[in-house]
Amino acid sequence: MSRLAKRLSQAVAAGALLAALAGCTAPTPWVKPYEREHFADPIMSFNRDPISSVYLDHVLESREGARGATGAVGGGCGCN
Amino acid sequence: MQLAEGPGASRARRAGAGRLLTPFRRTLLALCVIAVPALGGVLPEDRADVMWHNYNGGDITVEGPSVLVQKRVGDSLAFSAGYYEDMISSASIDVKLSASPYHETRKQENVGVSYLHGKTTYSMGYIHSKEPDYIANTTFYSISQDMFGDLTTVTLGYVRAWDQIFRDIKQPNGEIVNDPTFHERADHRGYTLSISQILTRNLIADFNYSLLTDQGYLANPYRKIRYLSPGVGEGFTLADQVYPNTRTSNAASITLKYYLPWRAALSGQYRFFRDTWGIVANNVEANYTWPWHQWVFDGTVRWYKQSSADFYSDLYPYANYANFMARDRELASFTDWTLGAGAAYQFRVPGAPWISKSTANVRYNRLFIDYKDFRNALLAGEYGAGNEPLYKLNANIFQVFVSIWF
């Protein structure tokens, strides 16, 4: 292994270690609660009308081979 | 319900083959109905929706009602209940190839409950779907947690489904019954991960991953493959499909939604899909939402592309060509576009002070599918088997619904 490659791998390892350590402390919320008024607007909902998005997903999934992870349904479905 | 030739069947073969839902998709529908909150620390709103839906395309009409009610009880419990119905009238290209038109109704009921404790929401539910030749029971569970100052919401979900598949036949006296020689089962499991992340005061991201596995009878018992048979009929012969008994798929998507400098929202989504049948799919979608006085308008454009399943073929060279053989259009290679528009009008209901908000909504989507290796076999007599024009499907999708918040 060349010296350059060795130093590069050491730098990557050090970076990964720092990132892991940084993950041990909870990050400070960079968007304060009083700055989130736009997310309370219904137009920012990922799924404003569950009855409608569920139906459209149903139609598309019955015509296509792919399935899942559509956002409107994923994990918890984002129905709120 | 669809009809297949069976013992004592009349000469008029009536194999449906045009059902909107193929068996391996039922679980997805179940996943879709999971009406639990996206945010760990928030329960669904008290809300009721009543909808009429209509799908029309490829000589198939599917329409019916849908109702969804969500109600909180106290500060930490919320219940949901829904009813959905598909009234199907089909004379699709598949039906015309090997059968005659049919009508059937599928009914589905679902219930769910969510419990909020601190910043965690626990949800579970049950879905039952029934039609004359298909019964599906599904349970789902999820846990959702807000973290990092409520900038992040992580949701883990699990779904389990059990299906029973029958095949309908028409007796000589015209009576339609389940084929006593055909009763299959299919089991499904799904694991989902969702991460919602507030990135800036105007931008939010939503990552979704889902792993789905199926085991059992995964084919449509009515649809047929075709293989070359020069000099016989129109140059091809129909035969039963043979599917693998297992399927596992992975799908991941990322959605970004941005609040514009004026009151409007723009979102974009990308999804990647891959499964053990060899299907690889990608889709991209963009949405624009803008309010205007009492109205909210939506515009959508979506592009989707998939490769075919390894065992799919429009026309096999001879009978028993491979261990697995399929000619379901959903397993073919194709590209589709969906263009959509919607409008919601907010109004007051006189004499009902308990209704805090109500909207009347209409949505229309136009679906264009261009198949790359699925040919219009009905034209084999004119063009010769294997040389028919590629099939195209255009469909209109209407939704009209009223929503009230109380």
Tell if the CB–CB gap between A52 and B399 is shorter than 8 Å. yes
CB B169 within 8 A of CB B176: yes
Q: Measured between CB atoms, which of A30, A38, A64 is closest to B259?
A: A38
Q: Measured between CB atoms, which of A38, A52, A64 is closest to B281?
A: A64
CA distance B33 to B125: 9
Tell if the CB–CB gap between B149 and A52 is shorter than 8 Å. no
Interface test with A, best of B19, B21, B80, B208 (most A CBs within 10 A): B208
CA distance B339 to B303: 9
For residue B283, give the chain A residue with the closest CA: A66
CB contacts < 8 A (A, B): 234
- In the prediction, which pLDDT does B293 show? 96
Measured between beta carbons, the chain A residues lying within 8 angstroms of B127 are none
Domain residues for the domain of B317 are 3-405
Measured between beta carbons, the chain A residues lying within 8 angstroms of B44 are 79-80
- In the prediction, which pLDDT does B21 show? 46
Map residue B99 onto helix, strand or coil.
Answer: coil
- In the prediction, which pLDDT does B9 show? 35
What residue type is assigned to position B384 of the chain?
G
| Structure tokens given for B42 | 């928030």
Q: How far is A15 from chain B (nearest CA, A)?
A: 23
* Span B324-373, pLDDT tens digits: 999 999 999 999 999 999 999 999 999 999 999 999 999 999 999 999 99
- In the prediction, which pLDDT does B19 show? 46
Report the mean per-residue pLDDT for chain B. Answer: 89
* Span B377-396, pLDDT tens digits: 999 999 999 999 999 999 99
Tell me, what DSSP letter sits at residue B332? S
| Structure tokens given for B59 | 């000589």
Q: What band does B102 get if pLDDT is binned at 50, 70 and 90?
A: confident
Q: Measured between CB atoms, which of A36, A55, A80 is closest to B38?
A: A80
Q: How far is B347 from chain A (nearest CA, A)?
A: 16
Q: How far is CA B392 from the centre of its chain?
A: 20
Q: How far is B265 from chain A (nearest CA, A)?
A: 6
Task: Check which CATH number belongs to the domain holding B215 and give it.
Answer: 2.40.160
- For residue B363, which of B398, B339, B337, B394 has the smallest C-alpha distance? B398
A24 close to B (CB below 8 A): no
| Structure tokens given for B265 | 């929202």
| Structure tokens given for A66 | 């792919």
CB B16 within 8 A of CB B90: yes
Q: How far is A5 from chain B (nearest CA, A)?
A: 34
- Looking only at the bridges linking them, the beta strands covering B152-170 and B3-4 are parallel
CB A51 within 8 A of CB B221: no
Q: Measured between CB atoms, which of B35, B196, B289 is closest to A79?
A: B35
pLDDT at A34 exceeding the cut of 50: yes
CA distance B67 to B401: 9
pLDDT at B143 exceeding the cut of 60: yes
Measured between beta carbons, the chain A residues lying within 8 angstroms of B195 are 75
Q: What band does B99 get if pLDDT is binned at 50, 70 and 90?
A: confident
Interface test with B, best of A24, A58, A61 (most B CBs within 10 A): A58
Q: How far is A19 from chain B (nearest CA, A)?
A: 17
CA distance B118 to B37: 14
Question: In total, how many domains does chain B have?
Answer: 1
pTM given for the model: 0.87
Residue A59: φ, ψ to 5°: -65, -45
ipTM of the complex: 0.90
Q: What band does B6 get if pLDDT is binned at 50, 70 and 90?
A: very low
Residue A16: φ, ψ to 5°: -65, -40
CB B130 within 8 A of CB B107: yes
Burial of residue B332 (number of CB atoms within 10 Å: 0-12, 13-18, 19+):
buried
Q: How far is B178 from chain A (nearest CA, A)?
A: 23
* Span A8-30, pLDDT tens digits: 677 667 766 666 665 566 678 88
- In the prediction, which pLDDT does B175 show? 83
CA distance A3 to A55: 59
**How many Cα atoms within 13 Å fall on the side-chain side of residue B404?**
13
